[in-house]
Amino acid sequence: MNVKVKLNPILAKLVGGQEVIEVRGSTTGECLRSLEERFPGIKQEIRDKRGRLAAHYAIFVNSKHAYPKELTTPVKNGDEIEIGIIANGG
């Protein structure tokens, strides 16, 4: 499956400024692992110490949030995953 991963500016910096990367996988988790293998800096940024998605990140598939299945949502050819930041200040 060819899936596009859209990166926020913080992550884009870690892949030389690219905002979209094509990866393979049938779930969001597989796609992220594929991305992390190519760009280890991404893994360091988006995972916590226990390997979970870091708390301030969120995963969106075709603009719809994947919570609570952020790493297990099925994806198909042509889908777009976005690694987003949720800003809940106040």
In sequence order, which ranges of 3-57 are alpha helices (DSSP H)? 9-14, 28-38, 40-46
Tell me the closest approach of the beta carbon of residue 70 to other proteins, in angstroms: 7
Q: Is 68 in the site for other proteins (CB under 8 A)?
A: yes
Q: Is 1 in the site for other proteins (CB under 8 A)?
A: no
Q: How many residues bind other proteins (CB under 8 A)?
A: 19
Out of 16, 17, 51, 89, the only residue in the binding site for other proteins (CB under 8 A) is: 89
Site string for other proteins, 22-61 (x = CB under 8 A): --------------------------------xxx-x---
* Residues ≥6 apart with Cβ < 8 Å to 36: 42, 43, 46, 47
